[in-house]
Amino acid sequence: MKLAFSTLGVPGLPLPDVLRLATEHGYDGVELRAHPEEPVHPGIDLVQRADVAASFKESGVRILGLAGYPRMAEPGDDEPVLAEVRALVDLARDVGAPFVRVFPGGGTEQSPEEADATAARRLGTAAEFAADAGVRILLETHDSHRTGAAAARVIGTVGHRQVGALWDVMHTWLGGERVAASYAALAPQLGYVQVKDIASADDTTPLALGTGVLPLAECVGLLRREGWDGWLCWEYEKRWYEDAAPLPQLLSAGREYLARLLATDGRRTQPQG
């Protein structure tokens, strides 16, 4: 498996510094948070996009994907949501990113069936222009569809190869879903996996990998035994937790921890308690 980290952990950091961190600490790729607060977002022009692509190519670091914020099940008109997805897909095409991340975002004012139908309809439309761009849209296990089973309901309804899943291990765990059940639901459409660690279900402040309660060893061990050979991306949510330790000082230990899990099949490495 290949290892990446998300720029959510280093909010606003200039791209040359992001690439320096990736190369210095041995990461294969970077997930770029595609938000106006960041250097890479849909508002940058074609020259800037070409510079981003060239910088990554020169460094040897891959762009894993663009983490965007469209909410596919959000109540309301389809067109504003689809316009947001299209802007992300166009940016991904221009900078050479294979994936874009979207959220479910279903509201409490609609039934689960209505939220599923809304998300599937929009994803089905977006899949067509994503196919033209050579980009795959990944629905993250998050908010209204935090389990693998919930995300798979939508993705299965779409039934298009350009629509897949992003497995956020924290959210499926918070949803009460076992690792094996999450994998079984998502495996047919799995794009990549976001790993992280937290102290408890009540305290989701990001921690160094392997120091919290999330079943990372079980997850990585299962992926390895199943022969899955995709990306593990460390999403350290520093942007939302200002008091969390700075990510750069944790990157080397995090990569080494994941490397140990991969080498040991995920056994006897996860802390207890």
Q: Which residue has the higher pLDDT, 184 or 108?
A: 184
What is the model's pLDDT at position 107?
81
Give mean pLDDT, residues 23-40. Answer: 97
272 pLDDT band (50/70/90 cuts)? very low
Longest dimension (CA), the chain: 51
Which candidate, 187, 23, 12, 180, places its Cα nearest to that of 3?
Answer: 23
Q: Looking at the predicted structure, is the pLDDT value of residue 57 above 50?
A: yes
What is the model's pLDDT at position 269?
43
Q: What does the radius of gyration of the chain's CA atoms come to, in whole angstroms?
A: 18
Round to whole Å and give the CA distance between 6 and 196: 11
Which residues sit opposite 190 in a β-bridge? 165
Q: Which residue has the higher pLDDT, 273 or 213?
A: 213
Q: Looking at the predicted structure, is the pLDDT value of residue 240 above 90?
A: yes
Q: Looking at the predicted structure, is the pLDDT value of residue 71 above 90?
A: yes
Which candidate, 161, 164, 230, 233, places its Cα nearest to that of 195?
Answer: 233
Which candidate, 98, 68, 86, places its Cα nearest to that of 127?
Answer: 86
2 contacts 230 by C-beta, under 8 angstroms: yes
Domains, the chain, in order of start with CATH, read: 2-264 (3.20.20.150)
What is the model's pLDDT at position 265?
56
Average pLDDT of the residues of the chain: 95
**pLDDT tens sequence across 125-162:** 999 999 999 999 999 999 999 999 999 999 999 999 99
Give mean pLDDT, residues 208-225. Answer: 97
**pLDDT tens sequence across 72-98:** 999 999 999 999 999 999 999 999 999
Q: Looking at the predicted structure, is the pLDDT value of residue 270 above 70?
A: no
Which tokens is 139 given? 């629905």
Round to whole Å and give the CA distance between 112 and 150: 9
DSSP class per residue in 164-224 = EEEEEHHHHHHTT--HHHHHHHHGGGEEEEEE---S-SS------TTSSSS-HHHHHHHHH
CA 78 to chain centre: 23
